[in-house]
Chains A and B, each alone.
Chain A
Amino acid sequence: MLLLFFPVQIALSQINHHQFVTAQEITHNHAQRARQYGYFRPEDISGLRSELARRLNMSANDIQINATTVPKYRFDRFTPGELIDYEVVIPVRRILAMNRFLGIPDEENQMLRVIKGQVHSEVLLP
């Protein structure tokens, strides 16, 4: 019974890893798109949420997105305050396989994974 844990855990780790890599790739693409406009427009944020929900197979309400919604501009001198921030939080529903067998309750077997970063804006001041 104990030996059953290992193949299941290997599969589960691989699934969680693939989810996170997909989420990272989608978020990075959307961040690059946001650089063109200087901020995350409402349609960008909803597009990001729906694409994450579709490709990660989870409902759109589980995903939290915090991003800059005010336009940021580029100047001749480097200004740290004028960067576009984004933060995407993905829940992981199961970290360890056979958790109840090992004595870990379901609530402790979940976690939230954060993808966070800052990018420069490419929009000139109008």
Chain B
Amino acid sequence: MKILLWTFAIVLIMTFVVVYQDDYNQLYRENINLKFYSQEAAAAAAQYFVVEEYSEGRMVFNREEAVRAAEYVLQQNLKLNEDFVPLHNSYWKEAVHYDIEFFDEGNTFFPYLYEHPSEYFILLMTAPTVVVTVDAGRPAFRLFEDIPRMLRVGAHTWQQR
């Protein structure tokens, strides 16, 4: 009888362990994806600049095209619709918010010491840079509810050679 109770308890605990391991590993992989695609969104946004300003020797980002490109990258790769709500085949469950900041020769003097609003990192910018912050919401764990929101920041610098 005692052995049966112990077996039952062990089976229950080990089931929790196996399920949590699977959830945690999947979150780890999706976090790597999130990091890669936020950097990719910043790189995409950094490609578009205003031609007239460039002809005068100043590098100014074309905000409109850059935002379109960054939004497209995030929507396609994180599987979101136009309102940034995840589709049924996406890992993320809540609406994704993103924030994009442009530091170019139209609004910044380089070098510029940038501190991210989350106070998570400081970046010394020496060239025009785009910073994309993506807040992907809470992950989908099966056994726990109160998991912190997943936040990733990507930055891309346009360096002239």
Q: Which residues of A contact B (CB under 8 A)?
A: 2-3, 6, 9-10, 13-14, 17, 20-21, 24-25, 28, 35, 74, 76-78, 80, 117-120, 122
Q: Can you identify 26 A-B contacts, CB atoms within 8 angstroms?
A: A3-B7, A3-B10, A3-B11, A6-B14, A6-B15, A6-B17, A10-B17, A10-B18, A14-B21, A14-B25, A17-B25, A21-B32, A24-B32, A25-B32, A28-B36, A76-B62, A77-B65, A78-B48, A78-B72, A80-B72, A117-B40, A117-B76, A118-B76, A118-B77, A119-B40, A120-B47
For the complex, what is the distance from the CA of A24 to the CA of B37, rounded to whole Å?
12
Residues in A neighbouring B69, C-beta threshold 8 A: 78, 120
Residues in B neighbouring A119, C-beta threshold 8 A: 40
Residues in A neighbouring B22, C-beta threshold 8 A: 13
A21 touches B44 (CB 8 A): no
B33 touches A21 (CB 8 A): no
The yes or no answer to B58 lying at the interface (CB within 8 A) is no
Residues in B neighbouring A3, C-beta threshold 8 A: 7, 10-11, 14
For the complex, what is the distance from the CA of A21 to the CA of B48, rounded to whole Å?
32
For the complex, what is the distance from the CA of A6 to the CA of B15, rounded to whole Å?
8
> In whole Å, how far is A76's beta carbon from the nearest beta carbon of chain B?
6
> In whole Å, how far is B81's beta carbon from the nearest beta carbon of chain A?
15
Residues in B neighbouring A118, C-beta threshold 8 A: 73, 76-77
A-B contacts counted at CB < 8 A amount to 63
B18 touches A13 (CB 8 A): yes
Residues in B neighbouring A10, C-beta threshold 8 A: 17-18, 21
Residues in B neighbouring A77, C-beta threshold 8 A: 48, 65
B32 touches A117 (CB 8 A): no
B65 touches A78 (CB 8 A): yes
Determine the residue in chain A with the shortest Cβ distance to B14.
A6
Query: A6-B15, A77-B48 known; 17 other A-B pairs, CB under 8 Å?
Result: A3-B14, A6-B14, A10-B18, A17-B29, A21-B29, A21-B32, A24-B32, A24-B33, A25-B32, A74-B47, A117-B40, A118-B73, A118-B77, A120-B40, A120-B44, A120-B73, A122-B47
The yes or no answer to B68 lying at the interface (CB within 8 A) is yes
> In whole Å, how far is A55's beta carbon from the nearest beta carbon of chain B?
16
Residues in A neighbouring B73, C-beta threshold 8 A: 118, 120
Determine the residue in chain A with the shortest Cβ distance to B50.
A76
Residues in A neighbouring B11, C-beta threshold 8 A: 2-3, 6
> In whole Å, how far is A108's beta carbon from the nearest beta carbon of chain B?
18
The yes or no answer to B110 lying at the interface (CB within 8 A) is no
Chain B stretch 54-113: residues in CB contact (< 8 A) with chain A:
62, 65, 68-69, 72-73, 76-77
B18 touches A6 (CB 8 A): yes
